[in-house]
A = this chain, B = another copy of it.
Amino acid sequence: MLPEPYDLLPTTARQSHTIAAGDVLFRQGARTLGLYVLITGRVHLERVGPNGERLIIHRATSGTSFAEASVFSERYHCDAIVMDAGELVRIDKSAVLAAFANPDFARAYGRHAAQQVQAHRQIMGIVGIRRAEDRVMAGIVAGLLDGTVVDFAARLQLTHEATYRALRALVEAGRVTNPSRGTYRLA
């Protein structure tokens, strides 16, 4: 099933596609068709600077949507390139725009978007903390350590080595417990 709020859209608005590494979903400047929900695989959004510099705007991961802003725009403003094969759903721009007439969808969309903005702001604040130990502690307090430590480290923009070391230091300082290999909790 699709993640909120796109599950509220009529099935006619969706198109499933299998994707292979190297596929180009769209190019900067192309007319927008809609947004995408990545089911499995990996997709990079890249923008090419005026002098040919490639800048990765976003790395889409399983279960997340991307190119949401294309719904409100005539042209894509970046390239979407498949890194790992998988599956995705394209959601019609016009269907989304029409769905805003449905207050239930509109509110679900609003809630989802507001929460995402909130989450981003929080992570940005945490990533701004310089000391690895403080950053990791803040990440734990914020509840960001749900999956693997490797994922956690990536979210904190730290190497996993630095993250493991910080976790160890926090455990030794008694601020965090390490009940079992790979699991850490607030003391």
Q: Which A residues fall within an 8 A CB radius of B? A: 47, 49-51, 53, 55-59, 68-69, 71-72, 97, 100-101, 103, 106-107, 109-111, 113-118, 120-128, 137-138, 141-142, 157, 175, 186-187
Contacts and interface: CB of A to CB of B under 8 A. Distances in A.
Closest 4 CB pairs of A and B: A113-B113, A49-B141, A106-B106, A120-B120
Given A57-B121, A137-B53, A72 B128 contact: no
Given A106-B103, A138-B55, A120 B121 contact: yes
Given A100-B106, A116-B117, A120-B124, 17 more contacts: A47-B142, A51-B175, A51-B187, A58-B121, A59-B125, A68-B118, A71-B110, A71-B111, A72-B114, A72-B115, A106-B109, A109-B110, A113-B113, A117-B120, A123-B124, A124-B157, A128-B157
B57 A125 contact: yes
A150 B137 CA distance: 27
A142 to B, nearest CB: 6
Contacts of A121: 57-58, 120
Contacts of A186: 49-51
Contacts of A110: 71-72, 100, 106, 109-110, 113
Contacts of A50: 141, 186
A97 to B, nearest CB: 7
